[in-house]
Structure 1
Amino acid sequence: MFILELTYTAPLERIDALLPAHVAWLEQHYANGTFLASGRKVPRDGGVIIAVAENRDAIEALAATDPFAQAGATACRITEFVPTTTGPELSPYCESLPA
């Protein structure tokens, strides 16, 4: 599982102009099951996406397709973690630690 932390590198006016394309990108990846949750950070200086992917290379490639990233309007920090405990809704993503 991955946390994508987006940090705006462009003024909010530029972010707002790109927002419809970014939302369409989010919707596409919710529909295919890659994204589990997302939203704005508070204060509004970026956003967070919780995602699943086969490996880090796949999630890095996916993050590069974000319209925000393609426009150079955000920086993206990717954190991979092993979800060993989840709520019932996320139980399909629960993993065991490697031996």
Structure 2
Amino acid sequence: MFVVTVTYTAALDEVDQWRPAHGDWLNDLISRRLFLVAGRRVPLTGGVYFASEMPAEELDSILATDPYVLRGVATHSVVEFTPLLVATGLESLKG
């Protein structure tokens, strides 16, 4: 599993131009369970995703298609981890 942090590299008004396309991108990935969670950082300097278990190269390929990245308004940072302890009901996330 991966935690992906998004950091905006442009002003919010420039990021906002691409928010609808970015939202569509995220909704597609979540519907296919490639991403499990996505949300905004507080304060709004970017976002955070939980990505499913997959080869790191596959995640890199997916992240390269983010409209924010394609438009040069954000970057990603990725941390891979193995979930060992999970809340009841989330046992399928354990590695």
Q: TM-score range by the shorter chain?
A: over 0.9
Q: How does 1:88-99 map to 2 (within 5 A)?
A: 88-95=88-95
Task: Let me know the Cα RMSD of the aligned residues.
Answer: 0.9
Once residues 54 and 45 of structure 2 are traced to their aligned partners in structure 1, the CA distance between those partners, rounded to angstroms, is 29
Q: Deviations over 1:26-46 (max 9, x none)?
A: 000011011111111011110
Q: Which amino acid aligns with 1:47?
A: G
TM-score (norm 1): 0.91
- Structure 1 residue aligned with 2:4: 4
Corresponding residue SS for 2:90:
helix
Where structure 2 has 5 or more consecutive residues not aligned to the other structure, the ranges are: none
Where structure 1 has 5 or more consecutive residues not aligned to the other structure, the ranges are: none
Q: Is 1:4–1:51's contact at 8 Å kept on the other side of the alignment?
A: yes
Q: How does 1:1-99 map to 2 (within 5 A)?
A: 1-95=1-95
Q: Which amino acid aligns with 2:32?
A: N
Deviation above 3 Å: which 4+ runs of structure 1? none
How many residues are paired up? 95
Q: Which amino acid aligns with 1:77?
A: S
Q: Which amino acid aligns with 1:15?
A: V
Q: Percent identity?
A: 34
